[in-house]
Amino acid sequence: MRRLSRNLAPYLLSLPSWVYLAVFFVIPLGSMLGLALATGDPLDGYVMSDNFSEFSLAFSQYHAEFLRSFIYGAISTIITLIIAFPVAYWIAFYGGRNKSTYLFLLVLPFFVTFVIRVLAWEFILSDQGFVLGTLKNLGLIPQTAHILSTQWAVIGGLVYNSLAYYVLPLYVALEKIDRRVVQAANDLYATPAIAFTRVIIPLSAPGIFAGFLLVFVTNVGDFVNAFILGGPGTYMIGNVIQDSFFDNQNYPLAAALSSMLMFLLMIAIFLYAKAFGTDTIQDYAA
């Protein structure tokens, strides 16, 4: 009896979360796929069918937005990595006793809700705001100069909002590096540049990839930066999904688009899990 309960224990402990995640995470992904294949309209309801035409329509109509999302996602993630790595490196190697204070300062902006952080950038960058407006009044830049509504405003917003999400996994990876390995490289007459590229970068690879995955996936699916900082020419796939659900009420199209997005990103996640395992992401995720 006792042994039986011991064998059952992990299953009983897991059951509540399993049920919850099955009903509100796994099954919804299926219903989204189902909705994508359905025919009908919001007033008369939907009939399940195997209407794959929505997928080809979605792709032929919106491949530009898909492409743009992946390009913005990739560029913003690479820029974030370049900005974040030296910061994480300095904190991990030279932060001394105040490491946690520096990390705390980096996550401080999270005490302000996401949409207001983006809104504040809209303020800072606006055509007549105190940056561009002042420069224009001084005659340093032409009156027509603008940053908002350009792709760089959107990419800049994405970079700003992902910075801390990238510093943290990089920090965790760099912190784990045994300093004696770096010391050994130096003893063997490696120049600092070689020690860095041949020892530190390879050893921090799990953090680089974990951060890349988290930031890239988040940024590809974002529509808030494009909505607030961008213009019609910078719409991303998230904006299209959002509009098809709420403005056009074309649910099957919206569901088809998000199913395709999920499918493309699942490939990326699957490749990551194959290469690094699922345990590592949990080390770096939170």
Partner 1 sequence: MSTTMIMPIMRRPKMEIGRRLLAAYTGLVIIYTMIPIAVMIVFSFNIAPNGRVALKWLGFTLAAYRHAFGIQDLTGALINSLIIGVGSAVISIILGTPLALALTRYNYRAKTTTDIVIFADIAAPAVVVGASLLSLFLELNIPRGLITILISHVAFNVAFAVVVIRARMTGLDRSLDRAAADLGATPWVAFWSVTMPLILPGIVGAGLLGFAMSIDDLIITNFVAGQTLTFPLWVYGATKIGTPPQVFVLSTLIFAGGVGLAVINSLINRRADRRRQG
Interface with partner 1 in residues 257-286 (CB under 8 A): 258, 261-262, 265-266, 269, 273, 278-279, 281-283, 285-286
37 binds partner 1 (CB under 8 A): no
Q: Which of 153, 213, 226, 253 binds partner 1 (CB under 8 A)?
A: 213
Task: Provide CB contacts within 8 A for 239, sequence distance 6+.
Answer: 65, 223, 226, 227
Which of 13, 64, 141, 201 binds partner 1 (CB under 8 A)? It is 13
x/- letters, 225..254, toward partner 1 (CB under 8 A): --xx--------xx--xx--x-----x--x
Considering the rule CB under 8 A, would residue 145 count as an interface residue with partner 1? no
| Residue 190 interacts with partner 1 (CB under 8 A): yes or no | no
The distance of Cα 170 from the centroid of its chain, to the nearest Å, equals 15
Residue 59 makes contact with partner 1 by CB under 8 A: no
Residues 71-90 close enough to bind partner 1 by CB under 8 A: 83, 86-87, 89-90
Residue 166 in contact with partner 1, rule: CB under 8 A = no
Binding mask 93-132 for partner 1 (x = CB under 8 A): -x-x---x-x-xxx-xxxxxxxxxx-xxxxxx-x-xxx--
For residue 183, the minimal CB distance to partner 1 (Å) is 5
